[in-house]
Each structure stands twice: as C-alpha cells, then as structure tokens.
Amino acid sequence: MYKANLLAAVLFSSAMCAGFAVADDREAIQSLLKLPLIDAQVPQAQVEAFCEARVPVLPNVDSLEEWERLTNHWRADMLKKVILRGAAADWAKSPRQVEWLDEIEGGPGYRIKKLRYEALPGLWIPALLYEPEKMTGKVPVVMNVNGHDRDGKAAKYKQIRCINQAKRGMIALNVEWLGMGQLSTDGLMHYRMNQLDLCGTAGIAPFYLAMERGLDVLLDHEHADHERVAVAGLSGGGWQTIFISSLDPRVTLTNPVAGYSSFVTRIHNHSDLGDSEQTPCDMATVADYKHLTAMMAPRATLLTFNIADNCCFASGHALQPLLDAAEPAFRLYDKADRLASHVNHVPGTHNFEQDNREALYRMFGKHFYAGDAAFDAQEITSDDEVKTNEELTVPLPTANADFNTLALGLLEALPHERLPAKASAEWMASARTRLTKVVNAHDYEVEAVELPAKSSSEIHAKLWKLNVGNDWTVPAIELTTGQEAPVTTSIVVADSGRASAAETVERLLKEGHRVLAVDPFYIGESKISSRDFLFALLVGAVGERPVGIQASQLGAIARWSKQQHPDSDIQLVAVGERMSLAAIIAAGLEAKAIDRVELRGSLASLKQVVERSYGVNEKPEFFCFGLLDAFDIRELAALVVPREVSFIGVDDRAKAELACLKSWYGDLGRDYDPLR
C-alpha cells in the first residue's frame, strides 16, 4: 500500500510539474508576444502618408477648352469607373417609377404631396413635394436632401427650409436619405453598402441613383424651370449636394452645408473622415472633392461651413482648400461672382438653422430672382406649420429593398461553378493574374531591422521591424526553443493580433517550428489608432485594398524568411476569418516562397459575408471590390494546390463548399484532404 501511494504521489508530482511547465511556457510566450516593437503612432502616420500620396492633385489649367475637356472626362470616369459598376449599370437603365399618394394641407400658399419613387428596382424612396398653390409659367425647383438625422425628412430645420422655398414660389422636393428617417433600417445602415462592392457592384450606386431620380421627379413637373435647379442639404446632405451637383449638369445652383472636405484635409483632420458613401471605393483614382467643387464652374455655388462645428468640416480647415481649388475654374468662365462662401457664427455648431438658411435664400435672390425687387431673403416664420413624423409618413412596400437584400440578389447571379472540374495549370496562371489585379497586390521587398533579442524561460526571441516596401513597418517576433535548426518556419497572424495567438505559437514551437509572429496592416500592433476603419475605407477610395496590402506584406515576409532560412519550409498559419482570407490570398499569389497554409476559423465561403450581413466597420478586409465576383474561398484555395492548404475545424458548410479541392490534389498526384 505504501509503494502504491508513493507511486501515485510521484505521478501526481510529475503531472503537476508538467502542468506548471506548460503554464510557464504559455506565460513566457505570452509575455514575449506582447513586447512593443513599434511606436503606436507609426501605423497612423504610415496610412496617412500612403493615402495622401495617392490623392489626385487638381491640375493648373489655363484654357477653358482644356478645362471643359477635363471636366467631361472626370464626370464620365466617375460614372463609369466608380458609380455605375456591375449591376448598377442596369439599375440606371431601369424604367422610372413614381407613385403619387396623398396630399395633405401645408400652410398658407402651399400644399404637400406625398410620393415615393424607385431609386433602383425594388428600392423605394419616400418624398414630399412642397408645391405653391398658385403657379404660372416656369418656376425654380429645389431638391432638399438630409444627412445623419434620425428624423430624416421630418427634421424641423429641413421642413422650414422647404416651406420657405414654397412660399417664395419654388417647388421644393424633400427626399428621405438611405438609412435615415423612414429608411432607418438595419439593412440600409451605410456600412452595409460595401456588401455590394464585394459582389462587384458599386455600393455608392443606390445613393447616386436616389439623388438622380429625385431630380427626375422635380424636372418632370410641368412648371419646372430647367434653368433654375437647386440642391441643398446639411452634413451627409451636404455631401449628397456636392456629389450630385458636380456630376449632374442639370443642377444650376448648389448649397452644400458642412458636408465635405478634400480627402487631403480629411487625412489631417480625422473628424472629417466620412462613412462608406462619402469615401466610395476608387473615387480618388478619378477625382478628389476639390475636383468636384471646381467642376461646379460656372454654375452658382455657395459653400457653407460653421465656425465651431462640433461634428465635422469646421470652416477653419475645410473651406479654404475648396475655394482655392474652385476659384481658377470660375475665373476661366469669367464668373467668379458665382462662387460664394458663408461661415456661420450663430450658433456656429453643426447646423442648417436660420442664418445658414437665409444665406441660401440670398443665393436664390441673386441667381434665380435677379432684378426682382419684391424678393426678400429674410426667413418667413413658419414654426407652427411644422408637421410631425407621423403626419409626413409615406407608405412604403413591406419588402422594400436594402443593401443586404440587393447583395443577396447579386449572390444568386454569380456563376456557381467557376473552378474547373480538373486541376489546370492554365487556369491557375490566369487566375493568379486576375487575383493580383482584384486585390491590387504589391511586389514588396523587406528591409529588416533587428532589435535587441529577448529570452523568457526556454524561449528565445529575435525582435524585428520589417520595413515592407517604402510604405509599411510590420512588427515581428521570431521565436525558437533553442533546439536544432527547425525545418519549418511558421508565419503566424491572428485577427486579434499576435498577442492573442499564444496557444497557436506554443503548439508550433512544441512541434519544432521556428515561429515568426507578425502584425500586418490594420492588425494588432499595426492597428490604426484613430478612426481605423474609416482609414480602411480611404485606402479603398485611393484604389488600394486593405486585404491586398495584408496579403502583399505576408508574401514579402515569406520571401524574406525564405532568404533568411533557405533550408526551411515556410508555412502561413492564420487564426480567424479575416487573417485566413489574407493568408490564402498571399499563398495563392506567392507560389514559390510559401510552402503550406494552415487556416483556423476561415470562412467557408465569402458569401457568408453577405449572408451574415457584416459591415465594413467590423471587418474591412472582406469588402475588396469585386473579389466575390471573381473568386470564392475554394478558388483561392485552388491557387495553393499542389502545396498544402489545411482548413482546421471546418463545419458542414465548409465541407460542402470545399470538397472539390481533394480531387484537385488527386489530379496533381497527391492524396491529400485539405479539410480537418
């Protein structure tokens, strides 16, 4: 009995020691992975410089003929290369649908007509038409758009603006904005518009078509004067105002209020960084907002900003760069007096209140009612005519489309069999070329800076700053256990950064691997400190792709690792949905340096991004324009064959989506199952 108890005690003691050893190893690894390697402001400074270098500069033009050629070129390219891409080109050609509904009493001298119109098939926009009771001949028309206001078209300051326009004899259209007021639904949350981008259709298109069709409604009115067409709005409405006014020549007077600034201004004033629609994919490959402002020439333009704006676009930094950009264009037309600005001091915050409204009325008087001595720009008091949300509600179809349902429809139109039945070297070469273009991959070189080494327990760490290309610094920690030279180098990345990957790193070290734990663009220590996903949107706007940057960095680091350890296999190990996508793209593009890929927690299909209705604010890497239109996870995985790609912990969806990969390995002489 004594011997048995002694043996049990020894076994228990050994187990406890082994447990403590495991705990000690994990703690040592964790402490090393958490070591800071780069200054916290480096990722911020680098993404700012990266984007600023790619924002187009407005050229100096001395000839009116050359200016008009450029303006027409920018306008055409914005429509073709930014807005009407994919299914949006067909949406723009769909028949116009307008349904007139109830008419309600307005106030003295005007009535309010309820209507709804289709921005694109299945997506209806509620609107209100403020119409003077007495009209003869042609009268000015105004489209009033609203910004991020939960009251939407019922916002008091907007109603008063529309009422004042109608009382001055103008036809005023009050349109609802996607995601606001009556259209405030989860599926129309602006960060979901990028689901369309993933499918190869411009997410900006519904916004543009909603505005364009609103102008159609106004200009179809029998009393509409096509020479006197205005657009005005606050904040997101100010963005809508400059966007539609610059691109649609039918607009003859524009008044964006605290609604936008140049991309360069935004880079240095983070309050101005806009949502998805204000930073549409690839816009800055064609034009900056300076271009859009100058493109208004010679049409009447009033730029209104607030002196102490508590939201965004404060006058002190936003206004002057736009005026400097636009003034030369107006001078080319000898119409400098048509470009005006107004800075609001009372209340001076983010507003379109009376002072700003009266600046707009003065603009109407100067350009729409020139010579009319009876025109008075002082606001007509109308507070008691403001309606409730309920009174202004416009009935909508119960199945009104939104960004998510539109994207789900695009999924159905995607080809179901894009991968050849048998492995094909020709397909792989062609697909690799297409993928390079879709993600805008870069062929980066790495210049490594080694920092003082660290050790903890039996774990040895080399610390690196990897300067990738001329743009990025990627922090990396190289871990070994001091045993004989490892035959495999595993490059580890994780959605939550390298510090979250201790368990994975520990496993790989026990398997005898050298581990290089890195934080690529946007991840872990490389996370952008201020307005992170808004900068990810800006990266897309300048023509780059966050996932393309990540994959390019990983490919470059793999090549560097191969140079450092030529006798070692290079394996990419990714933990999480986002880094799994970056890793499989990197492996697909880098066929020589990357020998194997291990993915833990990968999506089974990019369709799940839409099916789960992710927003770009959650996982910006997923919304690479046109990626799902060209590739799904299985096609990306096929680019790794005959090298090993392992999907760890797969579910039934993954088994169904990826089952065909096993036959691809068989075609190339390998009996290998990538699903674990």
Alpha carbon of 577 to those of 33, 500, 505, 630: distances in Å?
21, 14, 18, 19
Is there a contact between 313 and 272 (Cβ–Cβ < 8 Å)? yes
* Angle, CA of 625, 629 and 634, to the nearest 5°: 110
Is there a contact between 561 and 570 (Cβ–Cβ < 8 Å)? yes
| Strands lying side by side in the sheet with 98-107 | 98-107, 110-120, 123-132, 171-175, 139-145, 224-234, 253-257, 300-306, 339-344
In the three-class reduction of DSSP (H, G, I as helix; E, B as strand; rest coil), residue 362 is classed as helix
The 10s digit of each residue's pLDDT in 279-293 is: 999 999 999 999 999
pLDDT at 18: 40
- What lies within 8 Å, CB to CB, of 451 at 6+ separation is 37, 463, 464, 465
CA dihedral 378, 381, 385, 388 (to 10 degrees): 90
What does the H/E/C string look like for 95-124? CCCEEEEEEEEEECCEEEEEEEEEEECCEE
| Largest pairwise CA distance in the chain | 116
For tokens 């055409």, what's the residue?
Answer: 76
pLDDT at 652: 93
Quote the CATH superfamily of domain 54-410: Alpha/Beta hydrolase fold, catalytic domain (3.40.50.1820)
Per the rule left: phi > 0, alpha: psi between -120 and 50, beta: everything else, 8 is alpha
pLDDT at 499: 96
- One-letter amino acid of 482: G
For tokens 């009266």, what's the residue?
Answer: 358
What's the chain's length in residues?
Answer: 676
Per the rule left: phi > 0, alpha: psi between -120 and 50, beta: everything else, 576 is left
Percent of the chain with pLDDT over 90: 93
pLDDT at 7: 38
pLDDT at 24: 72
Please list the residues that pair with 190 across neighbouring strands. Answer: none
> Which one, of 360, 402, 377, lies nearest residue 143 by Cα?
360
- Distance separating alpha carbons of residues 115 and 38, to the nearest angstrom: 57
Is there a contact between 543 and 440 (Cβ–Cβ < 8 Å)? yes
DSSP for residue 675: B
CATH architecture of 447-667: 3-Layer(aba) Sandwich (3.40)
For tokens 């390995």, what's the residue?
Answer: 665
Q: How big, in percent rounded to 5, are the helix, strand and coil portions of the chain?
A: 45, 20, 35
The 10s digit of each residue's pLDDT in 626-649 is: 999 999 999 999 999 999 999 999
Domain 54-410 matches domain 447-667 at the CATH topology level:
yes
- Distance separating alpha carbons of residues 554 and 544, to the nearest angstrom: 16
> Which one, of 110, 115, 98, lies nearest residue 394 by Cα?
115
In the three-class reduction of DSSP (H, G, I as helix; E, B as strand; rest coil), residue 128 is classed as strand
Q: Report whether pLDDT(11) > 70.
A: no
239: its two tokens: 């963005």
User: What are the structural domain ranges in the chain?
Assistant: 54-410, 447-667
Q: Report whether pLDDT(87) > 60.
A: yes
Please list the residues that pair with 477 across neighbouring strands. Answer: 463, 517
> Which one, of 292, 294, 293, 304, lies nearest residue 257 by Cα?
304
- What lies within 8 Å, CB to CB, of 93 at 6+ separation is none
DSSP string, 262-298: -HHHHHH-GGG---GGGS-TTGGGT--HHHHHHTTTT
Alpha carbon of 258 to those of 60, 98, 307, 350, 584: distances in Å?
26, 31, 10, 7, 43
pLDDT at 23: 60
Please list the residues that pair with 245 across neighbouring strands. Answer: none
Region of poorest pLDDT, from 9-13, 281-285, 352-356, 554-558: 9-13
> pLDDT category, 277, cuts 50, 70, 90?
very high
Q: What are phi and psi of 600, to 5 degrees?
A: -115, 115
Is there a contact between 253 and 299 (Cβ–Cβ < 8 Å)? yes
- What lies within 8 Å, CB to CB, of 397 at 6+ separation is 124
pLDDT at 3: 40
Q: Report whether pLDDT(572) > 50.
A: yes
- Distance separating alpha carbons of residues 289 and 172, to the nearest angstrom: 26
The 10s digit of each residue's pLDDT in 120-143 is: 999 999 999 999 999 999 999 999
DSSP string, 437-451: HHTT-----EEEEEE
Q: Report whether pLDDT(20) > 80.
A: no
Alpha carbon of 640 to those of 594, 605, 661, 671: distances in Å?
9, 16, 10, 15
Q: Report whether pLDDT(341) > 80.
A: yes
Higher pLDDT, 577 or 19: 577
Helix axes 205-219, 236-247, angle to 10 degrees: 70
- Distance separating alpha carbons of residues 410 and 71, to the nearest angstrom: 33
